[in-house]
Structure 1
Amino acid sequence: MKSGRYIGVMSGTSLDGIDVVLAAIDEHLVVQQASYSHPMPLAIKNAVLAVCQGQQLTLSQLGQLDNRLGKLFAEAVQILIKREGCGLKTSLR
């Protein structure tokens, strides 16, 4: 892995929030530089839990839920970046 600063994002099984971490990583060390926990809206939490418990939904409904989650994850990352005053650099390598 190339040395640099990386952002990790996840939501645990409790779905109580979205956890974001900014870490500096090099060949020998991983250092957490910042973290943020973004609240999970109850409507999205309930929708995800319903799907996990076998609730039927259409492909369109699944796509809409995926879109809502993606936007929420992006919002959480943007808040961390703004709080830390970080710039963004993307790389496909």
Structure 2
Amino acid sequence: MAMTNRHAGLMSGTSLDGVDTVLADFGGDSPRVIASCHLPFPVQMRQAALSLQQAGHNELHRAALLGNQLAAVYAEATRRVVEQAGTASDQISAIGAKGSRILGTIYSA
């Protein structure tokens, strides 16, 4: 299969409102956005992230569970942007995801 120049990028910020995703083509003279989407975080997930801002019981376990939820939201957001673009997932060369600052702060503590 020929390599494409299509890349997906994902980002969730400290606002905890959700994940933004873009699918871009870097094969021409300048990058071109093919599709983009925003997927809101479920209310329960946002509340779990906010609860980790204060010291509490079983923080590492709760952070690990939240990290797994974040990965699932990233996967769904990627699926949606690929579907919106009308392309196949095997046409994506790379996916980049900026980690969540909320989770990164917890794991580095």
Give deviations 1:46-74, integer Å, cap 9, x for gaps. Answer: 211222x2333343322211111110110
RMSD over equivalenced CA pairs, Å: 2.3
Q: Deviations over 1:7-62 (max 9, x none)?
A: 000112211121000111148522211100011111111211222x2333343322
TM-score by length of 1: 0.79
The alignment-based identity, stated in percent, is: 33
Aligned residues: 90
Q: Distance in 2 between matches of 1:69 and 1:88?
A: 20
5+ residue gaps, structure 1, are none
Cα distance change on mapping 1:5 and 1:17 into 2, 3 Å: same
Q: What's the counterpart of residue 101 of structure 2? A: none
The correspondence of residues 2-81 of structure 1 with structure 2, limited to 5 A, is: 4-26=5-27, 28-51=29-52, 53-56=53-56, 57-81=58-82
Letter in 2 for 1:79: R
- What 5-or-longer segments of structure 2 have no aligned partner? 95-109
